[in-house]
Amino acid sequence: MKKRIISAGLLLSVMGAAQAQDRQVVDTVASSLATQGLMTPKGRFEIEPTFSYSQNTSNRISILGFTQVPALLVGIIEAEDADLTTFTWALAARYGLTNRIELELRAPFVYRHDSITKRPLGSSNNPEKFTSDGGGLGDIEAAIRYQFNLESAPFWIGGLRIKSDTGESAFDQEVDANGIFKDPPTGSGAWSFEPSLTMIYPLDPAVLFATGGYTWNMEADAGIDIDPNDGDNLANDKYTLGDSFFLGMGMGFAVNERLSFSLGVNHRTVFESEINGRKTGEVLQLDSLTTGFSLALSENSSVNMSLQAGLTEDAPDVQLNFGMPIMF
């Protein structure tokens, strides 16, 4: 049970971080096509409402039993098909402290719908379908970015993103007798810090970009005892979601003065999580292909869209993100 719960919380945390990073890269590339100053200008204020959709499916076979001879298994074989859908509405606010320094605050609202179908193999019973849906405030984030150089390419941008624990984690949500969340989690349940470094290299009419960073998750306390009858007092446990590092690279291309598109690849390695100092779970490899475009509506507003397709088993199948930054 602990392994399943911590994996659910970890996946939600990674998905949220991946969405924020992809949005940042696509927006940065779109901005770099028009100006050398990539941050919000000094004294200017920008708001960006965003919407994202994420779909993740998995098929798993669980075996509980033992083998008498190599060809005979005694026990229960159960097939499980899980479809996890996440909708995220968020509002980001950015302020140009100087022409080199940008501050950002982002507040998301997360809605999840989980559908899980279970069928014991070899049984004549119809498959059982369980659903869980709900939403709430996600993990509020704050970020600061600094552009090291303004005059000559390539341009280098350093950033620090801090994610709070305002969302409800998998350790705060109860599960029913079938092991399904009564209310799906909306956050990771732990504070995290993510330093990053991004390189932008304009080569008119194209722009090359690369980014990398590391996510460090702090230790947190489990909020509830998932199952008081299983002998594990989870409420007294301390857990640490696995740290991760990420790399990404790609190219943006200006179609004309108003329209640009980008294409990139992203990789993230997530290390094992810990419960009470002991390793649990497994190392995850998340690779994805991202494409996006930006359309300038006016001098102070644009529409951005990005589509991310998972390339590995651990990565979400698809993520679709929309944003509309408006500068004042």
Cα separation, 153 vs 313, whole angstroms: 37
What pLDDT score was predicted for residue 29?
53
pLDDT score at 6: 43
Own/partner pairs, 38-42, CB within 8 angstroms, 24+ separation = 38/147, 38/155, 38/157, 38/200, 39/96, 39/99, 39/100, 39/101, 39/102, 39/145, 39/146, 39/147, 39/157, 40/94, 40/95, 40/96, 40/102, 40/327, 41/96, 41/99, 42/96, 42/97, 42/98, 42/99
- Which residues, including other chains, have CB under 8 Å from residue 216's CB and lie 6 or more apart? 192, 193, 194, 243
pLDDT of residue 220: 84
97: pLDDT confidence band, cut at 50, 70 and 90?
very high
Beta bridge partners of 319: 54, 308
pLDDT at 175: 75
Q: What is the mean pLDDT of residues 267-291?
A: 87
Q: Which of 19-23, 35-39, 255-259 has the highest mean pLDDT?
A: 255-259
Indicate the domain borders of the chain: 2-327
pLDDT of residue 60: 59
Instruction: Average the pLDDT over 216-227 and give the result.
Output: 73
* Position 52 pLDDT exceeds 50: yes
Task: Output the six-digit token pair for 1.
Answer: 């049970």
pLDDT of residue 119: 66
Residue 202 predicted with pLDDT over 90: no
Check pLDDT > 80 for residue 209.
Answer: yes
pLDDT of residue 289: 92
Label residue 47 by pLDDT band (50, 70, 90).
very high
Asked if pLDDT for residue 143 goes beyond 90, the answer is yes
- Is the pLDDT at 64 greater than 70? The verdict is no
User: Is the per-residue pLDDT at 125 higher than 80?
Assistant: no
The answer, yes or no, to whether residue 30 has pLDDT greater than 50, is no
Kindly state the average pLDDT of the residues 278-284: 84
pLDDT in tens, 246-264: 999 999 888 888 888 889 9
pTM beyond 0.85, yes or no: no
Is the pLDDT at 25 greater than 60? The verdict is no
pLDDT band of 95, cuts 50, 70, 90? very high
Check pLDDT > 60 for residue 99: yes
What does each C-alpha distance from 258 to 36, 52, 177, 203 come to in angstroms?
16, 23, 55, 17
Give the domain 2-327 fold: Lipocalin (2.40.128)
- Say how far apart CA 278 and CA 264 lie, in whole Å: 36
Mean pLDDT comparison of 105-114, 185-194, 235-244, highest-scoring range: 105-114
